[in-house]
Structure 1
């Protein structure tokens, strides 16, 4: 029994030894065939720009499933050093450094293929440094270095201003604070205003500078440099010659304004002329002094209700004439006001044209001087362009001279028209006063006629009563007849 037992034990131990031996051999063969996994990082530093989302690449070779394995991303210079942790198939962010909160992630669907790259969002300047991707169970790691090149090339903007051309230069992402210089085409420094500097939440500087070019430089350079980090960025811009010329659109606007003024004045003249013709006809037809005298003569011949009816018609016509005259007077007053405003506008246009002419004169002189210098340096290639520019300037000058002459003529015409309208206004006021006097006289005659009619009716009634009395009393017939005869003769004399 004991020997049997010992024999079986011996066979069992031998079996276990053989099994262990074969397992070791199998593992060695596997290692030789497949190779030990290694963590591979990028061959060079990762270049980042502030504010971007970047990927710190890291993977295993050969590809090994690490979805259920611990993965650590750390920065040795931080406390705590953990940037991102992955264990037991989930993220553990309790020990993560606060500056990376909410900005790190792994590509979980690629972990089974050995890709343990880290995505870092909204990169900050403080993220610069060396990162370590580490797999504790395999005791393998690699490093990734993150560097910055956040400096941007200057952004140039150009605008036309009254005293020249305004250039604005802006550059972002600098640290420490840089300097800004303006250079002309020959490399000479240009005088500019103070540099505006803004420091952002990422501790990077944004600088901007502006310069007004009064003399024409075809090539302008904005240079931003920081000597401490040996960084320089510059942008060259070509300033078109047309920006230094007075914009032709202004002359077009002036021409349009003058045309509108001419149209308005012509329309006003036509309306006033028509109104004057109608008023003249009305006044000449209805209120002439030649007709007022027959009116007075006719009043002497009329008696009673006919005279009253005639005077009422005359009064109605005079009222109508007065309303028309008042309407025309209001219209003429409005026309005078409009013309006065137009005259003021034309005065302003004249001042602008004079200033524009002076500016054009200076620009032409400067352009001619520059053209002389350029002709000495260059040949036929640019002569045609300069001749075209000179011709354009001469045509512009002639156009402005014509506009100034037209404006002066319009000013004179407007002044004469205002004088005529003022005289017309005075005449209309005098005619209206005359109509009012005639109207008042007509009203007086009507009242007097009404009074005479009432007296006549009273006399007729008295005579009738006396006649009835005489019929009833024959003794007074002779006296009554003589009295009636006397009474009848009295109205005739009147």
Structure 2
């Protein structure tokens, strides 16, 4: 007897086999028994054709996300009434989720997965036993196994957990001796442990200090790195944090203004400027004093020449007048004062030339009144010098006040730059979040399209199965009609046999009667 080849085909085999058995039901009893035996053998053999299909690549999930570990049965059969198990062999207890008798058995589940695992119950009738895992943790990473004990088939799914975050760059300090700037990069919330690199504006690697790594109680890594940079063409520097195993890279760029590099020489330049301004002011004052003294000495020399000429004329015109004795002249010389900066070289009666720091003049003999006048002039000049010193002090105070104002302005500029950097970082974060949202939306759209395609496929399969069911029903109706015909034929045949037997018996009786007669 030849059996159909589609008995173990993956699609609608049970329907075709049922129709074939219905057709074979009209056969004699021995054949029906053999058909039933073959059916049982085929069902036991066809069980080996079912498979659990899982992903060929690891499933990557971010910390605190909700993900699905895919696993489905082929050919698709309703598994809602079967026992389904999701396990992790490296855990004790190893059960992540257990579905038995249409219920979730929470008692046997590992406590770390309590309230976080579930099945897509609406998909069980299509053979989909995928596991939904909520609020993924770093400890969830590992190899999972989906298993149907009744069919003794399983499949494995590997889960890789990742966590990434954008780095933040801050100004750590300024080296005033070398004029270089120290930058610090921090990034929190990474898994697995990442690497940190510094790049300049042209993409060249910079030599930085060792990376500091700290692992928190949530198993997430925090990394920080410092680098000392000097003034460059673009003054832009990039901190890159990357994880090669999960192909994740995050980077942040900062632009350091030239004022930060020139700030180390600012105080020395300012001090030199103050000293030069003070020296210049003193030189101007000394030159003014020298000019004043020259003018005064010229007027005094002209006045002394006139008095000398008047005395000579008076001595020539009045020879009878008494001459001044040498002793009186000496006493007058003692009372006289020679107004000069360096010491007097000689104290003779005649006026001697005296060298000053600014000029050279002849000092005449003066009276006490003249001495008082000169002394008063010196006091006035000293007063002027004091006033000039006070002016210089006031200018110095003004310079200090301007310096303080400039420092305040620079501090304000630094604060504004920091705020600008923060706003730029926030904008970058918003852009990245928008990009991630767009990517997630795109993923959702793709998943929706996939689901729609799968739904269309399922609809087509349902339509096919309905058509085949309709065909099988028609064939069943035909077989019923044929069976009814065969039954009628059998009844007719039986009736004919009965009639023939009756006729035969009647003929026999007639023959017997004839023989007796």
TM over 0.5: no
Max radius of gyration: which structure?
2
TM-score (normalised: structure 1): 0.40
TM-score, structure 2 normalization = 0.39
Structure (1/2) with the larger helix percentage? 1
